[in-house]
């Protein structure tokens, strides 16, 4: 069997290339969607601020053009935002470093506007049954601290999970050199059925109890406003705020790790469903009375694609009984992958069968939503034998290809830091809304 060593702390990976004019998003500063959601209900002050944050550095006249308002209105609003301490003036330069003309007025050096990063700080946590990750973001969306915490005791008690969340957050704050009191809000992502609006965990594989007021539990411990959501939703938010999704109005994110998740962006905004628990891609039914899913039902797509499904198949097909223990599941999957690479036909068949079920699920998404882009993400994306071109061909064969163009499918193997950064983006969004609703 393959022996695993603890993962090192990798650097936060580069943002993926943007579909916007072939520009790499590393060369495009700022964070947040590059287009505002339709019918957003945000006031003009907030729209001006969010346009500045999305661009990173921008002239007043360009903000006015983007929003379709008069330069005089933008100038007045920006003066107010500077007084609030949330934006600041910066030297206005072109990409070649030369000073840019056109925004300075008589004799005044041209200036750009940018977010004051020290105006607010937020945190984001990704909780899972293997390890927890946390990041601290400033108000401009840049990471200033981070930490990870491998799980040891694997307690499923809600209070114990909350204590671990508190601990990994303290580690990230220590890395940032700041105290808990510096945070305006904390975002938390975890797997399962999560009510973002009420802060309830209806069901999660990492918490034993059901209908848990988990946001309240964390808020009591931290003394900070806390928001929770399904982790796949928050990884989708990370893509919308920091990745290729910034330049797209709609896209689908599918995550494949210990479970199978999905996030959906429509008109530049995350869609959660009418009750806040939609997009449960892993629990669509693909076989009546089929394999048992960890949710307790049978025939769920996740029960044929997720890690525990591969472990179940390996224990039967390869006579690996006893290797599928929950605490050693990752090692088992690594062993299965190694066997497949060495040509073990049974191991390859297990991956290929899971790939066919995934193709069926992706075809269902395509037939229902017709998205321009489907992003595949998660730790399992490195197991290339589960996603051969044959599976993508099968996906296209299962869609109504004669009357539509198949969506682009991309693989973005995000790290745990990016899941946590999506949770921090939710806290950043909430803090921004609160700031301008109270102002």
Supply the CATH number for residue 323's domain. 3.30.420.40
Confidence of residue 102 (pLDDT cuts 50, 70, 90): very low
Pair 409, 427 in one domain: no
Q: What is the mean pLDDT of residues 3-27?
A: 36
User: What 3-state class would DSSP assign to 435?
Assistant: helix
Last residue of a domain, one of 115, 140, 166: 115
Pair 103, 160 in one domain: no
pLDDT at 257: 79
Lowest pLDDT segment from 5-9, 246-250, 426-430:
5-9
Pair 62, 134 in one domain: no
Burial of 249-274, coded b for 16+ CB within 10 Å and e otherwise, reads: bbbbbbbbbbbbbbbbbeebbbebee
192 closest CA partner among 285, 239, 129: 129
Q: Is 18 among the domain residues?
A: no
| Beta carbons within 8 Å of 198's beta carbon, 6+ residues apart | 213, 215, 276
Pair 340, 388 in one domain: yes
Pair 109, 127 in one domain: no
Q: Is 23 among the domain residues?
A: no
Q: Is 234 among the domain residues?
A: yes
Pair 350, 393 in one domain: yes
Pair 330, 395 in one domain: yes
Pair 314, 226 in one domain: no
- Give tens-digit pLDDT for 312-332: 888 777 776 655 444 467 777
Q: Is 300 among the domain residues?
A: yes
| pLDDT reading at 177 higher than 80 | yes
Q: Is 58 among the domain residues?
A: yes
Pair 407, 295 in one domain: yes
Last residue of a domain, one of 115, 135, 160: 115
pLDDT at 55: 93
The length of the chain in residues reads: 439
Pair 97, 139 in one domain: no
Pair 131, 110 in one domain: no
Pair 68, 125 in one domain: no
- Give tens-digit pLDDT for 344-370: 888 888 888 888 999 999 999 999 999
pLDDT at 14: 41
Q: Is 12 among the domain residues?
A: no
| pLDDT reading at 1 higher than 90 | no
Share of the chain above pLDDT 90, in %: 54
pTM for the model: 0.84
Distances (CA, A) of 258 to 88, 155, 188, 206, 302: 44, 17, 18, 11, 9
Q: Is 348 among the domain residues?
A: yes
Last residue of a domain, one of 115, 142, 163: 115
Q: Domain containing 334: what range?
A: 280-371+379-413
Two tokens, residue 100: 């840019």
Lowest pLDDT segment from 26-35, 183-192, 207-216, 428-437:
26-35
For residues 300 and 369, give the distance between their C-alpha atoms in angstroms, rounded to a whole number. 20
Q: Domain holding 49: CATH number?
A: 1.10.10.10
Total domains in the fold of the chain: 3
Q: Is 90 among the domain residues?
A: yes
User: What 3-state class would DSSP assign to 105?
Assistant: coil
């Amino acid at each position: 069997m393959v022996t695993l060593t603890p993962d090192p702390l990798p650097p936060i990976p580069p943002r993926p290339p943007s579909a916007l004019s072939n520009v790499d998003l590393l060369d495009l500063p700022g964070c947040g969607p590059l287009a505002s959601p339709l019918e957003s209900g945000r006031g003009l002050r907030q729209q001006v601020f969010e346009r500045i944050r999305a661009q990173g550095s921008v002239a007043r006249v360009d903000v006015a053009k983007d929003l379709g308002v008069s330069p005089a209105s933008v100038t007045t609003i920006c003066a107010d935002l500077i007084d609030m301490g949330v934006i600041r003036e910066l030297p206005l330069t072109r990409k070649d470093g030369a000073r840019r003309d056109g925004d300075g007025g008589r004799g005044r050096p041209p200036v750009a506007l940018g977010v004051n990063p020290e105006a607010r700080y937020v945190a984001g946590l990704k909780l899972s049954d293997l390890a927890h990750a946390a990041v601290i973001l400033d108000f401009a969306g840049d990471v200033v601290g981070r930490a990870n915490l491998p799980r040891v005791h694997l307690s499923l008690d809600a209070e114990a999970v909350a204590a671990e969340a508190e601990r990994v957050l303290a580690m990230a704050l220590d890395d940032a050199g700041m105290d808990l009191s510096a945070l305006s809000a904390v975002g938390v992502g975890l797997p399962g059925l999560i009510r973002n609006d009420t802060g309830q965990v209806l069901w999660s594989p990492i918490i034993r109890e059901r209908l848990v007021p988990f946001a309240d539990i964390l808020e009591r411990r931290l003394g900070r406003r806390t928001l929770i959501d399904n982790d796949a939703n928050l990884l989708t938010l990370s893509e919308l705020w920091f990745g290729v999704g910034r330049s797209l109005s709609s896209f689908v994110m599918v995550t494949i790790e210990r479970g199978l998740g999905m996030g959906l962006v429509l008109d530049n905004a995350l869609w959660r469903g009418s009750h806040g628990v939609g997009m449960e891609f892993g629990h669509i039914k693909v076989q009546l009375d089929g394999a048992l899913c960890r949710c307790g039902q049978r025939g769920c797509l996740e029960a044929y694609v997720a890690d525990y499904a591969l472990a179940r198949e390996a224990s039967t097909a390869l006579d690996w009984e006893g290797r599928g223990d929950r605490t050693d599941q990752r090692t088992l999957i690594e062993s299965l992958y190694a066997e497949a690479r060495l040509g073990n036909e049974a191991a390859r068949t297990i991956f290929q069968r899971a790939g066919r079920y995934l193709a069926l699920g992706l075809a269902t998404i395509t037939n229902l939503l017709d998205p321009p882009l489907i992003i595949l993400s998660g730790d399992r994306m490195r197991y290339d034998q589960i996603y051969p071109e044959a599976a993508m061909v099968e996906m296209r064969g299962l869609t109504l290809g004669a009357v539509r163009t198949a969506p682009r499918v991309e693989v973005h193997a995000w790290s745990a830091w990016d899941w946590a950064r999506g949770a921090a983006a939710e806290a950043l969004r909430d803090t921004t809304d609160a700031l301008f609703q109270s102002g």
